[in-house]
Structure 1
Amino acid sequence: MSTTDILKVEKRDVGASTAQMRKEGYIPGVIFGKDFDGANFKVPKVDLAKFLHNSGKVFEVEFAGKKHLVTLSHVQRGHLGTDFVHCSFHKVSAKDKVSLSLPIHFIGEAAGIKQGGLVNINFHEVEVEGLPKDMPEYLEFDLSGLELDENWTLEHFTLPKGLTWVHDVTDTVVTCSMPRVEVEPEVEETEMVVETHADAEAAAEEAPEKEEAAS
């Protein structure tokens, strides 16, 4: 779990306009979870952006003097994807396992690259299950041993203690193969005959003479 500072949020006034909150620099949000009544809050946009940039998927939120262990459920952004609109956190128990999608950080240069191969990554996140305390900010996969023409599935990687795969372990994560060389089809050259205006006139004059000769 991330050791980032606790995210402090403020109680949201009942009936407060979300548009007005955003105008004042706040982002509305909600905390929900099993056996929890839920809580509507607001948080300074600057604080939220900084916190999410540095935190993991499991962290604590301080609301009305109480701390809640949560996971990041959803962050809604504007139509350009550059601004926060709303966020939601899922309250969890430190004693119960959770399933989360964690980002993968690939390290090391694949051995197959020295033979001219290219590394192809199939996905950059993977879903795992475990207790909140065992959840890291990200998973680190070392590609140093990946040879040319090899496919590595999840079975090639070891999870931190306490975590298990939710994905099928036979899913291919990364491959190393020679780049495809596309050969353009040969186009048969044909001789083009260009008929000029003069050629057309000459052909028209010859036509009556050929008809008289034929008769």
Structure 2
Amino acid sequence: MSKALEAEKRSGFKRSDMRVLRESGRVPAVVYGKKENGLPVHVDAKDLLRHVQRGGADIFSLKIEGGGTSQVMIKDVQRINGRIVHADFLQIDKNTSVRATIAIDYQGEAKGTKEGGIFQIQATELDIEALPDDLPSTLEIDISNLEIGDKLIASDIKLSDKVKLLSSEEEVIASVVVPQVLEEPEAEASEEAEVAPELVGEEEEKSE
């Protein structure tokens, strides 16, 4: 079992207070849930980053100073130039469904790409809802049978009966398309060359 992420309560809310926290390796955050409704805290930046990098529905223990330990998931993070500057945590009740944004894991190589097609990804994640213990870490889908002209929509991803898709079922998430071929400029130039002499001849007849 991983070590709990420790959070200290936050009392300063000015920009200068936030800057001091960040310069000391801390990230301002807020805890939401039934037990804590908007509790300001701050956590270690490196420890937080480890959980952010796990992605998906990473549920872990958050030990709040003077408030016990709660199971939480990351609701949102704010970044500036790639650096995490703020985070929101959502307390989890294992008996209550939660909404989460989960990454799509495209597996295999599309058959159509071997025939000259281009595999395009339109969506990298989808919104779902489930009990905490039923949340998948990723949404896997096999693309190996996709041919040129084929597309995948959100409902093509097979979900457990315990997981509800919140994104539109008809949302296009990936496709295999034909490469666009640009018209050759030489062909246009040759056509202009054929027409030009006729136009010159007409102008000479008019002048006579």
**Taking structure 1 as the reference length, what is the TM-score of the superposition?**
0.76
Partner of 1:62: 63
Q: Are the counterparts in 2 of residues 74 and 87 from structure 1 also a CA contact under 8 Å? A: yes
The yes-or-no answer on 1:11 pairing with 2:12 is no
In the other structure, the counterpart of 2:160 is 160
After superposition, residues 1-215 of structure 1 pair within 5 angstroms as 5-15=2-12, 17-34=17-34, 36-54=36-54, 56-60=56-60, 61-64=62-65, 66-78=68-80, 80=81, 82-185=82-185, 186-187=188-189, 188=192
Which ranges of structure 1 fall in alignment gaps of 5 or more residues? Answer: 192-215
Kept in 2: contact 1:9–1:41 (CA 8 A) = no
Q: CA deviation at 1:6?
A: 4.7
Q: Does the CA contact (< 8 Å) of 2:51 and 2:58 recur in 1? A: no
- In 1, Cα distance between the equivalents of 2:5 and 2:151? 45
Once the two structures are overlaid, the 10-residue window that deviates more, 148-157 or 17-26, is 148-157
Note closer, same or farther for the CA distance 1:125–1:44 as it changes in structure 2 (3 Å cut): same
Q: 1:40 and 1:148, CA in 2 relative to 1: closer, same or farther beyond 3 A?
A: same
Identity among equivalent positions (%) equals: 26
Bigger shift: residues 119-128 or 39-48: 39-48
CA RMSD of aligned residues (A): 2.3
> How far apart are the structure 2 equivalents of 1:56 and 1:67?
21
Q: CA deviation at 1:59?
A: 1.2
**If each structure's helix is expressed as a fraction of its own residues, which one has the higher value?**
2
